[in-house]
Amino acid sequence: MDHVISGVAKFQRDVFPKNKEVFKKLATSQNPEVLFITCSDSRIDPNMVTQTGPGDLFICRNAGNVVPPHSNQTGGMTASIEFAVAALGVEHIVICGHTDCGAMKGALAPEALDELPHVKEWLGHCRGATEVVKHKHGSVGSEHLEEVTKENVLLQIQHLKTHPSVAGRLACKEVQIHGWVYNIETGEVLCYDAASESFKPMEECYTSDTAFKTAVGL
């Protein structure tokens, strides 16, 4: 904890003064372009990976970068998505999974989560991903972790589209959805390309004339 406390002191002493005008502007408003949904895993730092600063990303994090399908039961993710899209008017939504994801390991072996009943129930939102991989191979196990991680990103995108605020803006092409997988060891970020139905290196996805086409479902 000491390094966290000293980090606050360093921020106040060295970082904040150099960015005082930025924080002054952010003190009364925000205008993020991107809703970034990713895992709670401590190894993931959205701002570091995207090299963005305060006010650039509206970040939602939970175990497994899950987006529960829309329902009349209000939850934190549902409210946050609605606020980001309908109130803040974000133009892009990124769902970002990652390698060595503990949540995906749990989704692959739900029987091991009996002592973590809330985690087990939460990861029920990922079951469709494991079922897809199981159907492809006849069985599913730890050797399919990478494939399940990718399928989970696509599954959560499908869930995202059930949220009314998202569905309306998708229909009018006012928002784009992106599916990413971040490799912790290599730093590589793969993005889903709807045209080829595969995950590709980012440099192959985002060029000036194809960026829109790589947005999932558009």
Q: How far apart are CA 160 and CA 217, in angstroms?
A: 11
- 3 with 92, same domain: the answer is no
Instruction: Please give the pLDDT value at position 188.
Output: 97
| Closest to 43 (Cα-Cα) out of 102, 3, 92 | 102
| Closest to 188 (Cα-Cα) out of 175, 176, 205 | 205
- 86 with 149, same domain: the answer is yes
Which residue ranges of the chain lie beneath pLDDT 70?
208-218
**For helices 145-160 and 127-137, what crossing angle results, to 10°?**
130
Instruction: Please give the pLDDT value at position 206.
Output: 86
Is residue 98 part of an annotated ligand binding site?
yes
User: 10 Å Cβ neighbour count for 187?
Assistant: 8
Token digits for 194? 């709807």
- 127 with 209, same domain: the answer is yes
Residue pair 114/57 in contact (Cβ under 8 Å)? The answer is no
Token digits for 218? 């558009």
Is residue 205 part of an annotated ligand binding site?
no
Structural domain for 40, as ranges: 31-214
Place of tokens 């006010």: 55
- 88 with 115, same domain: the answer is yes
Residue pair 108/148 in contact (Cβ under 8 Å)? The answer is yes
- 50 with 85, same domain: the answer is yes
| Closest to 97 (Cα-Cα) out of 160, 152, 176 | 152
- 99 with 146, same domain: the answer is yes
Instruction: Please give the pLDDT value at position 217.
Output: 47
Instruction: Please give the pLDDT value at position 208.
Output: 54
- 25 with 112, same domain: the answer is no
Instruction: Please give the pLDDT value at position 218.
Output: 42
Instruction: Please give the pLDDT value at position 84.
Output: 98
Domain count for the chain? 2
Phi/psi at 203 (nearest 5 deg)?
-65, -20
- 6 with 55, same domain: the answer is no
- 21 with 90, same domain: the answer is no
Is residue 39 part of an annotated ligand binding site?
yes
